Amino acid sequence: MTTPSTTAGWEELVTSALLGTDRRGGVSAAAGRSRKDAAAALLDEAALHTVRRRAGLRPGPAAAPPGPAQPDPRPALPAAARRRLALLLSDRPGAGSGARRGNTPDLTELLPQWLAAANEHGYAAPPELLPALLDAARGRTDLRPPALGFAGPRALWLARLNPEWKFALRTTPGGSALPAPDDHEAVRQLWEEGLFAERVALLGAVRAHDAEAARILLESTWSTERAEDRLMFLDSLRTGLADADEPFLERALSDRSRNVRTTAAELLSALPASALAGRMARRAATSIALDALRTGITVEAPHECDPGMERDGVVATPPPGRGQRAWWLSQLVESAPLATWPQRLGGRSPAEIVALPVADDWQTELHAAWCRAAVRQRDAAWARALLGAPASPGAAGPGAVSLAERAKLLSTLPEGERAGWVAGFISAHGLSEAFQLLGVCAVPWSEPLGGAVVDALNIARDAGSYPWSFSGVMGLAERCLDPAAAARLESLTATPDEREDGAPGAGGYWAEAFQRLVGTLRLRAVMREELAGAV
Protein backbone atom coordinates (compact mmCIF):
# COMPACT_ATOMS: atom_id res chain seq x y z
CA MET A 1 0.00 0.00 0.00
CA THR A 2 1.27 3.50 -0.83
CA THR A 3 2.38 5.32 2.38
CA PRO A 4 2.22 9.12 2.99
CA SER A 5 6.02 9.31 3.04
CA THR A 6 6.22 7.50 -0.28
CA THR A 7 3.67 9.87 -1.77
CA ALA A 8 5.52 12.93 -0.42
CA GLY A 9 8.80 11.68 -1.84
CA TRP A 10 7.23 11.23 -5.28
CA GLU A 11 5.77 14.74 -5.23
CA GLU A 12 9.19 16.13 -4.28
CA LEU A 13 10.74 14.41 -7.28
CA VAL A 14 8.06 15.76 -9.60
CA THR A 15 8.66 19.28 -8.30
CA SER A 16 12.41 18.95 -8.84
CA ALA A 17 11.86 17.72 -12.40
CA LEU A 18 9.55 20.65 -13.20
CA LEU A 19 11.72 23.36 -11.66
CA GLY A 20 15.09 21.91 -12.63
CA THR A 21 17.66 20.13 -10.51
CA ASP A 22 19.83 23.23 -10.23
CA ARG A 23 16.99 25.30 -8.73
CA ARG A 24 15.64 22.73 -6.29
CA GLY A 25 17.25 21.00 -3.36
CA GLY A 26 17.13 17.32 -2.62
CA VAL A 27 18.98 15.02 -4.96
CA SER A 28 20.67 17.95 -6.71
CA ALA A 29 21.98 19.54 -3.50
CA ALA A 30 24.83 17.12 -2.92
CA ALA A 31 28.13 18.97 -2.90
CA GLY A 32 30.34 18.55 -5.88
CA ARG A 33 27.63 16.97 -8.06
CA SER A 34 27.41 18.25 -11.63
CA ARG A 35 24.13 19.19 -13.31
CA LYS A 36 24.33 16.04 -15.46
CA ASP A 37 24.95 13.85 -12.42
CA ALA A 38 22.09 15.50 -10.58
CA ALA A 39 19.69 14.78 -13.45
CA ALA A 40 20.80 11.14 -13.56
CA ALA A 41 20.32 10.86 -9.82
CA LEU A 42 16.83 12.30 -10.14
CA LEU A 43 15.91 9.66 -12.74
CA ASP A 44 17.37 6.88 -10.60
CA GLU A 45 15.37 8.07 -7.61
CA ALA A 46 12.23 8.30 -9.74
CA ALA A 47 12.72 4.71 -10.93
CA LEU A 48 13.09 3.56 -7.32
CA HIS A 49 9.95 5.40 -6.25
CA THR A 50 8.02 3.97 -9.20
CA VAL A 51 8.76 0.43 -8.07
CA ARG A 52 7.73 1.35 -4.50
CA ARG A 53 4.46 2.91 -5.71
CA ARG A 54 3.54 -0.11 -7.83
CA ALA A 55 4.41 -2.54 -5.09
CA GLY A 56 2.17 -0.68 -2.69
CA LEU A 57 -0.97 -0.69 -4.88
CA ARG A 58 -3.90 -2.76 -3.83
CA PRO A 59 -5.14 -5.16 -6.54
CA GLY A 60 -8.29 -3.87 -8.22
CA PRO A 61 -11.53 -5.83 -8.20
CA ALA A 62 -11.70 -8.50 -10.84
CA ALA A 63 -14.01 -7.74 -13.76
CA ALA A 64 -17.07 -9.93 -14.06
CA PRO A 65 -16.54 -12.64 -16.66
CA PRO A 66 -18.74 -12.33 -19.75
CA GLY A 67 -21.90 -14.36 -19.77
CA PRO A 68 -22.28 -17.27 -22.16
CA ALA A 69 -23.26 -16.69 -25.77
CA GLN A 70 -26.82 -17.37 -26.78
CA PRO A 71 -27.24 -20.94 -28.00
CA ASP A 72 -27.36 -21.57 -31.73
CA PRO A 73 -30.02 -24.21 -32.39
CA ARG A 74 -29.07 -24.76 -36.02
CA PRO A 75 -27.50 -28.09 -37.05
CA ALA A 76 -23.73 -28.42 -37.23
CA LEU A 77 -21.89 -28.49 -40.53
CA PRO A 78 -21.00 -31.89 -41.99
CA ALA A 79 -17.35 -32.70 -41.25
CA ALA A 80 -16.23 -32.37 -44.89
CA ALA A 81 -17.94 -28.97 -45.22
CA ARG A 82 -16.27 -27.80 -41.99
CA ARG A 83 -12.85 -28.73 -43.35
CA ARG A 84 -13.68 -26.95 -46.61
CA LEU A 85 -14.62 -23.77 -44.79
CA ALA A 86 -11.35 -23.81 -42.86
CA LEU A 87 -9.48 -24.11 -46.16
CA LEU A 88 -11.44 -21.25 -47.76
CA LEU A 89 -10.81 -18.99 -44.78
CA SER A 90 -7.09 -19.76 -44.69
CA ASP A 91 -6.57 -18.88 -48.36
CA ARG A 92 -5.07 -15.49 -49.13
CA PRO A 93 -5.13 -13.58 -52.41
CA GLY A 94 -2.02 -14.16 -54.46
CA ALA A 95 0.05 -11.67 -56.33
CA GLY A 96 -1.26 -8.45 -57.80
CA SER A 97 -4.09 -8.42 -60.31
CA GLY A 98 -1.62 -8.24 -63.18
CA ALA A 99 0.06 -11.53 -62.23
CA ARG A 100 -0.60 -14.75 -64.12
CA ARG A 101 -3.08 -16.79 -62.14
CA GLY A 102 -2.09 -20.28 -63.27
CA ASN A 103 -4.62 -23.14 -63.28
CA THR A 104 -5.39 -23.13 -59.53
CA PRO A 105 -8.93 -22.12 -58.44
CA ASP A 106 -9.22 -18.83 -56.57
CA LEU A 107 -10.64 -19.93 -53.22
CA THR A 108 -11.31 -16.39 -51.98
CA GLU A 109 -13.84 -15.93 -54.78
CA LEU A 110 -15.63 -19.16 -53.83
CA LEU A 111 -16.21 -18.14 -50.21
CA PRO A 112 -19.32 -15.98 -50.94
CA GLN A 113 -20.96 -18.88 -52.80
CA TRP A 114 -20.07 -21.31 -50.06
CA LEU A 115 -21.63 -19.04 -47.42
CA ALA A 116 -24.79 -18.54 -49.47
CA ALA A 117 -25.20 -22.30 -49.88
CA ALA A 118 -24.53 -22.96 -46.19
CA ASN A 119 -27.19 -20.42 -45.25
CA GLU A 120 -29.66 -22.10 -47.60
CA HIS A 121 -29.08 -25.36 -45.73
CA GLY A 122 -29.49 -23.59 -42.37
CA TYR A 123 -26.22 -24.72 -40.81
CA ALA A 124 -24.54 -23.18 -37.76
CA ALA A 125 -20.96 -21.96 -38.02
CA PRO A 126 -18.27 -24.01 -36.23
CA PRO A 127 -17.26 -22.02 -33.09
CA GLU A 128 -13.54 -22.50 -33.69
CA LEU A 129 -13.80 -20.83 -37.13
CA LEU A 130 -15.74 -17.76 -36.01
CA PRO A 131 -12.65 -15.54 -35.48
CA ALA A 132 -11.38 -16.25 -38.99
CA LEU A 133 -14.85 -15.73 -40.41
CA LEU A 134 -15.22 -12.36 -38.68
CA ASP A 135 -11.77 -11.31 -39.86
CA ALA A 136 -12.73 -12.18 -43.44
CA ALA A 137 -15.98 -10.21 -43.17
CA ARG A 138 -14.14 -7.24 -41.65
CA GLY A 139 -11.94 -7.01 -44.73
CA ARG A 140 -14.70 -7.52 -47.32
CA THR A 141 -17.99 -5.71 -46.95
CA ASP A 142 -19.59 -7.94 -49.61
CA LEU A 143 -19.09 -10.90 -47.27
CA ARG A 144 -20.74 -9.32 -44.25
CA PRO A 145 -24.42 -10.18 -44.83
CA PRO A 146 -23.88 -13.89 -45.61
CA ALA A 147 -21.02 -14.25 -43.12
CA LEU A 148 -22.90 -12.71 -40.21
CA GLY A 149 -26.05 -14.66 -41.07
CA PHE A 150 -24.03 -17.86 -40.98
CA ALA A 151 -22.05 -16.88 -37.87
CA GLY A 152 -25.19 -16.40 -35.78
CA PRO A 153 -25.42 -15.24 -32.14
CA ARG A 154 -21.96 -16.44 -31.15
CA ALA A 155 -20.42 -13.91 -33.54
CA LEU A 156 -22.24 -11.10 -31.74
CA TRP A 157 -20.93 -12.39 -28.41
CA LEU A 158 -17.39 -12.31 -29.78
CA ALA A 159 -17.86 -8.91 -31.40
CA ARG A 160 -18.62 -7.35 -28.01
CA LEU A 161 -15.15 -8.47 -26.85
CA ASN A 162 -13.10 -7.30 -29.83
CA PRO A 163 -13.31 -3.70 -31.14
CA GLU A 164 -12.16 -4.86 -34.60
CA TRP A 165 -15.42 -6.77 -35.00
CA LYS A 166 -17.79 -3.97 -34.00
CA PHE A 167 -19.16 -3.90 -37.53
CA ALA A 168 -21.13 -7.02 -36.60
CA LEU A 169 -22.96 -5.11 -33.86
CA ARG A 170 -23.79 -2.24 -36.21
CA THR A 171 -25.19 -4.36 -39.02
CA THR A 172 -26.79 -7.39 -37.39
CA PRO A 173 -30.23 -7.41 -35.74
CA GLY A 174 -29.75 -8.46 -32.16
CA GLY A 175 -26.37 -6.76 -31.80
CA SER A 176 -25.92 -4.38 -28.89
CA ALA A 177 -26.05 -1.40 -31.27
CA LEU A 178 -28.91 -2.67 -33.42
CA PRO A 179 -31.97 -4.05 -31.61
CA ALA A 180 -34.58 -6.25 -33.18
CA PRO A 181 -36.91 -4.16 -35.40
CA ASP A 182 -39.98 -5.14 -33.37
CA ASP A 183 -38.42 -4.06 -30.05
CA HIS A 184 -40.08 -0.65 -30.24
CA GLU A 185 -38.67 0.81 -27.04
CA ALA A 186 -35.08 -0.17 -27.86
CA VAL A 187 -35.52 1.06 -31.43
CA ARG A 188 -36.78 4.42 -30.23
CA GLN A 189 -33.93 4.80 -27.73
CA LEU A 190 -31.23 3.97 -30.28
CA TRP A 191 -32.84 6.24 -32.87
CA GLU A 192 -32.75 9.17 -30.44
CA GLU A 193 -29.36 8.47 -28.83
CA GLY A 194 -27.31 6.39 -31.30
CA LEU A 195 -24.43 7.33 -33.53
CA PHE A 196 -25.15 8.24 -37.14
CA ALA A 197 -23.94 4.90 -38.58
CA GLU A 198 -26.03 3.01 -36.04
CA ARG A 199 -29.11 5.07 -36.90
CA VAL A 200 -28.67 4.48 -40.64
CA ALA A 201 -28.38 0.73 -40.08
CA LEU A 202 -31.33 0.80 -37.69
CA LEU A 203 -33.58 2.65 -40.13
CA GLY A 204 -32.71 0.21 -42.90
CA ALA A 205 -33.46 -2.79 -40.68
CA VAL A 206 -36.79 -1.36 -39.52
CA ARG A 207 -37.73 -0.41 -43.09
CA ALA A 208 -37.15 -3.98 -44.28
CA HIS A 209 -39.29 -5.27 -41.41
CA ASP A 210 -42.08 -2.64 -41.35
CA ALA A 211 -41.96 0.10 -43.99
CA GLU A 212 -44.55 2.30 -42.30
CA ALA A 213 -42.89 2.07 -38.89
CA ALA A 214 -39.57 3.19 -40.40
CA ARG A 215 -41.18 6.19 -42.07
CA ILE A 216 -42.90 7.21 -38.83
CA LEU A 217 -39.57 6.88 -37.01
CA LEU A 218 -37.90 9.12 -39.57
CA GLU A 219 -40.67 11.71 -39.43
CA SER A 220 -40.37 11.95 -35.65
CA THR A 221 -36.94 13.64 -35.87
CA TRP A 222 -36.90 14.89 -39.46
CA SER A 223 -36.97 18.61 -38.69
CA THR A 224 -33.96 18.37 -36.35
CA GLU A 225 -31.67 16.31 -38.61
CA ARG A 226 -28.69 17.73 -40.51
CA ALA A 227 -29.10 18.07 -44.28
CA GLU A 228 -26.52 15.40 -45.09
CA ASP A 229 -28.15 13.03 -42.60
CA ARG A 230 -31.62 13.69 -44.01
CA LEU A 231 -30.34 12.69 -47.43
CA MET A 232 -28.98 9.36 -46.18
CA PHE A 233 -32.11 8.62 -44.19
CA LEU A 234 -34.36 9.48 -47.12
CA ASP A 235 -32.52 7.02 -49.31
CA SER A 236 -33.66 4.19 -47.04
CA LEU A 237 -37.22 4.69 -48.29
CA ARG A 238 -36.29 3.05 -51.59
CA THR A 239 -36.87 -0.25 -49.79
CA GLY A 240 -40.59 -0.96 -49.79
CA LEU A 241 -41.47 2.34 -51.49
CA ALA A 242 -45.26 2.66 -51.64
CA ASP A 243 -48.05 5.20 -52.12
CA ALA A 244 -48.27 5.60 -48.35
CA ASP A 245 -44.89 7.36 -48.46
CA GLU A 246 -46.16 10.10 -50.76
CA PRO A 247 -47.33 12.68 -48.16
CA PHE A 248 -43.97 12.64 -46.40
CA LEU A 249 -42.02 12.80 -49.67
CA GLU A 250 -44.21 15.61 -50.94
CA ARG A 251 -43.33 17.65 -47.85
CA ALA A 252 -39.65 16.86 -48.46
CA LEU A 253 -39.92 18.67 -51.80
CA SER A 254 -39.82 21.90 -49.79
CA ASP A 255 -36.66 20.91 -47.92
CA ARG A 256 -33.95 23.54 -47.69
CA SER A 257 -31.39 21.08 -49.14
CA ARG A 258 -31.41 20.73 -52.92
CA ASN A 259 -30.06 17.16 -52.73
CA VAL A 260 -32.88 16.17 -50.41
CA ARG A 261 -35.43 17.75 -52.75
CA THR A 262 -33.94 15.93 -55.74
CA THR A 263 -34.01 12.56 -53.98
CA ALA A 264 -37.58 13.08 -52.79
CA ALA A 265 -38.62 13.94 -56.35
CA GLU A 266 -36.91 10.83 -57.71
CA LEU A 267 -38.73 8.63 -55.22
CA LEU A 268 -42.06 10.26 -56.00
CA SER A 269 -41.53 9.79 -59.72
CA ALA A 270 -41.19 6.04 -59.06
CA LEU A 271 -44.80 6.16 -57.80
CA PRO A 272 -46.82 6.61 -61.03
CA ALA A 273 -49.96 7.57 -59.10
CA SER A 274 -48.26 10.37 -57.14
CA ALA A 275 -49.17 14.02 -57.61
CA LEU A 276 -45.60 14.82 -58.66
CA ALA A 277 -45.71 12.15 -61.37
CA GLY A 278 -48.92 13.74 -62.64
CA ARG A 279 -47.34 17.18 -62.75
CA MET A 280 -44.32 15.84 -64.60
CA ALA A 281 -46.58 14.02 -67.08
CA ARG A 282 -48.41 17.21 -67.95
CA ARG A 283 -45.15 19.11 -68.45
CA ALA A 284 -43.54 16.37 -70.54
CA ALA A 285 -46.67 15.92 -72.67
CA THR A 286 -46.51 19.54 -73.81
CA SER A 287 -43.03 18.88 -75.22
CA ILE A 288 -43.68 15.64 -77.10
CA ALA A 289 -46.36 14.95 -79.72
CA LEU A 290 -47.05 13.16 -83.00
CA ASP A 291 -46.17 14.99 -86.18
CA ALA A 292 -48.78 16.21 -88.66
CA LEU A 293 -48.87 12.85 -90.47
CA ARG A 294 -48.99 10.97 -87.15
CA THR A 295 -46.09 8.80 -88.29
CA GLY A 296 -43.30 10.28 -86.17
CA ILE A 297 -42.56 12.20 -82.97
CA THR A 298 -41.83 15.89 -82.69
CA VAL A 299 -40.07 17.43 -79.70
CA GLU A 300 -40.28 20.97 -78.38
CA ALA A 301 -38.04 21.11 -75.33
CA PRO A 302 -38.91 23.49 -72.45
CA HIS A 303 -37.73 27.08 -72.89
CA GLU A 304 -37.35 27.72 -69.15
CA CYS A 305 -37.08 25.97 -65.82
CA ASP A 306 -39.71 27.66 -63.67
CA PRO A 307 -39.86 27.56 -59.84
CA GLY A 308 -42.49 24.81 -59.92
CA MET A 309 -40.18 22.57 -61.94
CA GLU A 310 -37.32 23.24 -59.55
CA ARG A 311 -39.50 22.39 -56.55
CA ASP A 312 -40.36 19.10 -58.23
CA GLY A 313 -36.69 18.17 -58.46
CA VAL A 314 -35.68 19.51 -61.88
CA VAL A 315 -32.09 20.73 -61.64
CA ALA A 316 -31.85 24.00 -63.55
CA THR A 317 -28.12 24.02 -64.31
CA PRO A 318 -27.00 21.29 -66.71
CA PRO A 319 -23.72 19.40 -66.35
CA PRO A 320 -20.83 20.40 -68.64
CA GLY A 321 -21.48 19.48 -72.25
CA ARG A 322 -25.29 19.35 -71.98
CA GLY A 323 -27.62 21.93 -73.42
CA GLN A 324 -30.11 23.51 -71.03
CA ARG A 325 -33.26 22.60 -72.91
CA ALA A 326 -32.18 19.01 -73.53
CA TRP A 327 -31.27 18.70 -69.84
CA TRP A 328 -34.67 19.96 -68.70
CA LEU A 329 -36.52 17.74 -71.18
CA SER A 330 -34.69 14.59 -70.09
CA GLN A 331 -35.58 15.22 -66.44
CA LEU A 332 -39.25 15.74 -67.25
CA VAL A 333 -39.50 12.59 -69.40
CA GLU A 334 -37.69 10.29 -66.97
CA SER A 335 -39.96 11.48 -64.13
CA ALA A 336 -43.25 11.13 -66.03
CA PRO A 337 -45.26 7.89 -65.75
CA LEU A 338 -44.68 5.73 -68.81
CA ALA A 339 -48.44 5.28 -69.09
CA THR A 340 -48.46 8.88 -70.36
CA TRP A 341 -47.07 7.98 -73.77
CA PRO A 342 -49.51 5.43 -75.23
CA GLN A 343 -52.29 7.92 -74.47
CA ARG A 344 -50.30 10.81 -75.92
CA LEU A 345 -48.98 9.00 -79.00
CA GLY A 346 -52.01 7.47 -80.64
CA GLY A 347 -52.65 4.45 -78.45
CA ARG A 348 -49.50 2.69 -79.60
CA SER A 349 -47.69 0.02 -77.59
CA PRO A 350 -44.25 0.73 -76.08
CA ALA A 351 -42.57 -1.21 -78.90
CA GLU A 352 -44.46 0.77 -81.53
CA ILE A 353 -43.60 4.06 -79.83
CA VAL A 354 -39.89 3.22 -79.65
CA ALA A 355 -39.96 2.34 -83.36
CA LEU A 356 -41.29 5.78 -84.36
CA PRO A 357 -38.78 8.20 -85.91
CA VAL A 358 -38.01 11.26 -83.79
CA ALA A 359 -37.48 14.58 -85.53
CA ASP A 360 -34.49 16.91 -85.25
CA ASP A 361 -32.02 14.44 -83.73
CA TRP A 362 -33.92 14.19 -80.45
CA GLN A 363 -34.17 10.38 -80.56
CA THR A 364 -31.10 9.59 -78.46
CA GLU A 365 -32.11 12.07 -75.74
CA LEU A 366 -35.72 10.90 -75.68
CA HIS A 367 -34.95 7.18 -75.67
CA ALA A 368 -32.30 7.56 -72.95
CA ALA A 369 -34.86 9.32 -70.73
CA TRP A 370 -37.37 6.54 -71.36
CA CYS A 371 -34.68 4.01 -70.37
CA ARG A 372 -34.21 5.72 -67.02
CA ALA A 373 -37.97 5.90 -66.51
CA ALA A 374 -38.38 2.18 -67.27
CA VAL A 375 -35.70 1.27 -64.72
CA ARG A 376 -37.09 3.64 -62.10
CA GLN A 377 -40.67 2.43 -62.54
CA ARG A 378 -39.66 -1.25 -63.02
CA ASP A 379 -41.70 -1.43 -66.24
CA ALA A 380 -40.85 -4.67 -68.05
CA ALA A 381 -42.89 -3.87 -71.19
CA TRP A 382 -40.99 -0.65 -71.81
CA ALA A 383 -37.69 -2.34 -70.93
CA ARG A 384 -38.33 -4.98 -73.63
CA ALA A 385 -39.17 -2.32 -76.18
CA LEU A 386 -36.05 -0.28 -75.42
CA LEU A 387 -33.79 -3.32 -75.36
CA GLY A 388 -35.00 -4.54 -78.73
CA ALA A 389 -33.99 -7.89 -80.17
CA PRO A 390 -30.71 -9.21 -78.76
CA ALA A 391 -29.39 -9.83 -82.28
CA SER A 392 -30.16 -6.29 -83.48
CA PRO A 393 -27.18 -4.58 -85.17
CA GLY A 394 -24.80 -2.79 -82.84
CA ALA A 395 -24.49 -3.11 -79.11
CA ALA A 396 -26.45 -0.05 -78.07
CA GLY A 397 -29.95 -1.21 -78.99
CA PRO A 398 -32.88 0.89 -80.16
CA GLY A 399 -33.32 2.73 -76.88
CA ALA A 400 -30.28 2.26 -74.69
CA VAL A 401 -27.26 4.44 -75.36
CA SER A 402 -24.80 2.21 -73.51
CA LEU A 403 -24.34 -1.36 -72.33
CA ALA A 404 -24.63 -0.13 -68.76
CA GLU A 405 -28.15 1.11 -69.48
CA ARG A 406 -28.99 -2.17 -71.17
CA ALA A 407 -27.87 -3.99 -68.03
CA LYS A 408 -30.20 -1.80 -65.96
CA LEU A 409 -33.10 -2.49 -68.32
CA LEU A 410 -32.43 -6.23 -68.11
CA SER A 411 -32.66 -6.08 -64.32
CA THR A 412 -36.39 -5.28 -64.66
CA LEU A 413 -37.10 -8.57 -66.50
CA PRO A 414 -37.78 -12.00 -64.95
CA GLU A 415 -34.65 -14.09 -64.45
CA GLY A 416 -35.39 -16.63 -67.18
CA GLU A 417 -36.17 -13.99 -69.77
CA ARG A 418 -33.07 -12.05 -68.77
CA ALA A 419 -30.82 -15.08 -69.27
CA GLY A 420 -32.39 -15.88 -72.64
CA TRP A 421 -31.90 -12.32 -73.90
CA VAL A 422 -28.24 -12.23 -72.86
CA ALA A 423 -27.67 -15.63 -74.48
CA GLY A 424 -29.03 -14.25 -77.76
CA PHE A 425 -26.82 -11.18 -77.43
CA ILE A 426 -23.71 -13.31 -76.90
CA SER A 427 -24.56 -15.52 -79.87
CA ALA A 428 -24.87 -12.44 -82.09
CA HIS A 429 -22.12 -10.20 -80.71
CA GLY A 430 -19.73 -12.45 -78.77
CA LEU A 431 -18.46 -12.09 -75.23
CA SER A 432 -16.31 -8.99 -75.50
CA GLU A 433 -19.29 -6.64 -75.06
CA ALA A 434 -21.37 -8.84 -72.76
CA PHE A 435 -19.48 -8.58 -69.46
CA GLN A 436 -21.82 -6.01 -67.86
CA LEU A 437 -24.88 -7.91 -69.11
CA LEU A 438 -23.70 -11.18 -67.56
CA GLY A 439 -23.39 -9.45 -64.20
CA VAL A 440 -27.17 -9.01 -63.88
CA CYS A 441 -28.01 -12.67 -64.62
CA ALA A 442 -28.96 -15.12 -61.87
CA VAL A 443 -26.33 -17.58 -60.66
CA PRO A 444 -25.69 -20.31 -61.65
CA TRP A 445 -26.30 -19.41 -65.28
CA SER A 446 -29.14 -21.44 -66.68
CA GLU A 447 -29.44 -22.68 -70.22
CA PRO A 448 -29.29 -21.35 -72.85
CA LEU A 449 -27.02 -18.72 -71.26
CA GLY A 450 -24.40 -21.17 -69.99
CA GLY A 451 -24.23 -22.87 -73.37
CA ALA A 452 -23.88 -19.53 -75.18
CA VAL A 453 -20.95 -18.57 -72.93
CA VAL A 454 -19.17 -21.89 -73.50
CA ASP A 455 -19.71 -21.66 -77.28
CA ALA A 456 -18.37 -18.11 -77.36
CA LEU A 457 -15.28 -19.11 -75.35
CA ASN A 458 -14.65 -21.98 -77.73
CA ILE A 459 -14.92 -19.67 -80.74
CA ALA A 460 -12.54 -17.16 -79.14
CA ARG A 461 -10.04 -19.94 -78.41
CA ASP A 462 -10.13 -21.15 -82.00
CA ALA A 463 -9.42 -17.61 -83.23
CA GLY A 464 -5.80 -18.05 -82.19
CA SER A 465 -5.32 -15.12 -79.82
CA TYR A 466 -5.99 -14.48 -76.12
CA PRO A 467 -7.70 -11.10 -75.56
CA TRP A 468 -6.87 -10.09 -72.00
CA SER A 469 -10.36 -8.62 -71.74
CA PHE A 470 -11.49 -12.25 -71.52
CA SER A 471 -9.76 -12.69 -68.17
CA GLY A 472 -12.70 -11.00 -66.44
CA VAL A 473 -15.17 -13.15 -68.37
CA MET A 474 -13.30 -16.31 -67.42
CA GLY A 475 -13.32 -15.27 -63.77
CA LEU A 476 -17.06 -14.64 -63.96
CA ALA A 477 -17.59 -18.02 -65.63
CA GLU A 478 -15.71 -19.75 -62.81
CA ARG A 479 -18.21 -18.34 -60.31
CA CYS A 480 -21.38 -18.43 -62.39
CA LEU A 481 -21.38 -21.38 -64.81
CA ASP A 482 -23.33 -24.42 -63.71
CA PRO A 483 -20.80 -27.01 -62.45
CA ALA A 484 -22.38 -29.52 -64.84
CA ALA A 485 -20.69 -27.62 -67.70
CA ALA A 486 -17.29 -29.00 -66.61
CA ALA A 487 -17.72 -32.17 -68.68
CA ARG A 488 -18.34 -30.16 -71.84
CA LEU A 489 -15.28 -27.98 -71.20
CA GLU A 490 -12.89 -30.87 -70.57
CA SER A 491 -11.88 -31.11 -74.23
CA LEU A 492 -10.75 -27.46 -74.18
CA THR A 493 -8.14 -27.92 -71.44
CA ALA A 494 -5.52 -29.31 -73.83
CA THR A 495 -3.02 -26.89 -75.35
CA PRO A 496 -3.99 -26.33 -79.00
CA ASP A 497 -1.50 -26.23 -81.84
CA GLU A 498 -0.12 -22.76 -82.49
CA ARG A 499 -1.65 -21.13 -85.54
CA GLU A 500 0.59 -19.35 -87.99
CA ASP A 501 -1.57 -16.23 -87.82
CA GLY A 502 -2.16 -16.53 -84.07
CA ALA A 503 -0.52 -14.72 -81.18
CA PRO A 504 2.53 -16.52 -79.72
CA GLY A 505 1.69 -18.36 -76.52
CA ALA A 506 -2.07 -17.79 -76.83
CA GLY A 507 -2.76 -21.53 -76.86
CA GLY A 508 -0.99 -21.96 -73.54
CA TYR A 509 -2.96 -19.15 -71.95
CA TRP A 510 -6.26 -20.61 -73.17
CA ALA A 511 -5.37 -24.11 -71.94
CA GLU A 512 -4.40 -22.72 -68.54
CA ALA A 513 -7.61 -20.67 -68.31
CA PHE A 514 -9.80 -23.64 -69.22
CA GLN A 515 -7.95 -25.91 -66.77
CA ARG A 516 -8.63 -23.38 -64.02
CA LEU A 517 -12.26 -23.05 -65.12
CA VAL A 518 -12.85 -26.82 -65.14
CA GLY A 519 -11.06 -27.25 -61.83
CA THR A 520 -13.14 -24.52 -60.22
CA LEU A 521 -16.43 -25.94 -61.53
CA ARG A 522 -15.57 -29.38 -60.18
CA LEU A 523 -14.57 -27.89 -56.84
CA ARG A 524 -17.92 -26.08 -56.67
CA ALA A 525 -19.68 -29.39 -57.36
CA VAL A 526 -17.75 -31.06 -54.53
CA MET A 527 -18.57 -28.16 -52.20
CA ARG A 528 -22.24 -28.60 -52.99
CA GLU A 529 -22.06 -32.32 -52.17
CA GLU A 530 -20.17 -31.63 -48.94
CA LEU A 531 -22.85 -29.20 -47.76
CA ALA A 532 -25.54 -31.73 -48.63
CA GLY A 533 -23.74 -34.28 -46.46
CA ALA A 534 -23.10 -36.56 -49.43
CA VAL A 535 -19.31 -36.61 -48.92
* Residues 439/476, Cβ–Cβ less than 8 Å: yes
Continuous H helices in 67-110? 79-90
Q: Mean of the pLDDT values across residues 149-156?
A: 90
Tell me if 79 is assigned to some domain: no
pLDDT class of 265 with cuts at 50, 70, 90: very high
Shared domain check, 416 and 498? yes
Shared domain check, 428 and 381? no
**Least-confidence region, from 264-273, 432-441, 506-515, 518-527:** 506-515
Residues in Cβ contact with 127 at an 8 Å cutoff, skipping those fewer than 6 apart: 154
- Give percent of the chain with pLDDT exceeding 70: 86
Interatomic CA distance for residues 149 and 117, integer angstroms: 12
Shared domain check, 236 and 309? no
| Helix, strand or coil, per DSSP, at residue 463 | coil
**Least-confidence region, from 71-85, 291-305, 467-481:** 467-481
pLDDT class of 99 with cuts at 50, 70, 90: very low
pLDDT of residue 25: 55
pLDDT of residue 178: 67
* Residues 233/198, Cβ–Cβ less than 8 Å: no
* Residues 480/444, Cβ–Cβ less than 8 Å: yes
Tell me if 171 is assigned to some domain: no
pLDDT at 93 over 60: no
Shared domain check, 297 and 210? no
| Helix, strand or coil, per DSSP, at residue 358 | strand
Tell me if 64 is assigned to some domain: no
pLDDT in tens, 326-343: 999 999 999 999 999 999
- 314, containing H or E segment: none
Tell me if 495 is assigned to some domain: yes
Shared domain check, 250 and 318? no
Tell me if 318 is assigned to some domain: yes
**Least-confidence region, from 28-32, 348-352, 362-366, 489-493:** 28-32
pLDDT in tens, 184-241: 898 999 899 888 878 888 898 899 999 999 999 999 999 999 999 999 999 999 999 9
* DSSP string covering 5-53: HHHHHHHHHHHHHHH-TTTS-GGGGSTT--HHHHHHHHHHHHHHHHHHH
Residues of the domain holding 190: 184-269
Q: Which residue has the higher pLDDT, 355 or 91?
A: 355
pLDDT in tens, 113-141: 999 999 999 999 999 999 999 999 998 88
pLDDT at 8 over 70: no
Of 338, 356, 387, the position where a domain reaches its end is 387
Shared domain check, 524 and 413? yes
The dihedral sign for the CA sequence 85, 115, 482, 391: negative
Tell me if 110 is assigned to some domain: no
pLDDT class of 366 with cuts at 50, 70, 90: very high
pLDDT of residue 275: 96
pLDDT of residue 173: 47
- 138, containing H or E segment: helix 130-139
Interatomic CA distance for residues 13 and 524, integer angstroms: 70
pLDDT of residue 324: 95
Name the domain count of the chain. Answer: 4
* DSSP string covering 64-76: PPPPPPPP--SPB
Q: Which residue has the higher pLDDT, 220 or 6?
A: 220
| Helix, strand or coil, per DSSP, at residue 319 | coil
Helix, strand, coil in percent for the chain, rounding step 5: 60, 0, 35
Interatomic CA distance for residues 503 and 470, integer angstroms: 15
pLDDT of residue 291: 94
Of 387, 417, 441, the position where a domain reaches its end is 387
Shared domain check, 261 and 286? no
pLDDT in tens, 299-330: 999 999 999 999 999 999 999 999 999 999 99
Tell me if 294 is assigned to some domain: yes
- The separation between the first and the last C-alpha atoms of the chain, rounded to the nearest angstrom, is 64
Q: Fill in the DSSP letter of residue 256.
A: S
Shared domain check, 524 and 410? yes
Q: Rounded to 5 degrees, what are φ and ψ at 124? A: -95, 150
Shared domain check, 198 and 262? yes
pLDDT class of 26 with cuts at 50, 70, 90: low
Shared domain check, 297 and 212? no
pTM of the prediction? 0.75
Tell me if 121 is assigned to some domain: no
pLDDT of residue 394: 57
Shared domain check, 413 and 532? yes
Of 269, 298, 324, the position where a domain reaches its end is 269
pLDDT at 493 over 50: yes
**Least-confidence region, from 66-70, 263-267, 319-323, 484-488:** 66-70
pLDDT in tens, 385-410: 999 989 876 555 666 667 888 999 99
pLDDT at 30 over 70: no
Q: Mean of the pLDDT values across residues 504-527?
A: 87
Residues in Cβ contact with 502 at an 8 Å cutoff, skipping those fewer than 6 apart: 463, 464, 465
Q: Which residue has the higher pLDDT, 70 or 32?
A: 70
Average pLDDT, the chain: 86
pLDDT of residue 472: 80
Number of Cβ within a 10 Å radius of residue 61: 6
Shared domain check, 338 and 424? no
